[in-house]
Amino acid sequence: MRPRPQIADRARTLGDHRMFPGTRVWLTCALCGWDKSYSAERVIDRLRALRGGGFETPVGAVAKRVAWPCPGCGRVKWRSDLAWPPGMDEREIKRLADLYRN
Say if residue 83's pLDDT is above 90: no
pTM value is 0.77
Q: Are the C-beta atoms of residues 62 and 40 closer than 8 Å to each other? A: no
Strand 2-3 and strand 78-84: the pairing is antiparallel
pLDDT for 19 equals 82
Q: Are the C-beta atoms of residues 93 and 21 closer than 8 Å to each other? A: yes
Length of the chain: 102
pLDDT digits (tens, 9 = 90+) for 16-61: 888 888 888 999 999 999 999 999 999 999 999 999 888 889 988 8
Distance CA 48, CA 6 (A): 25
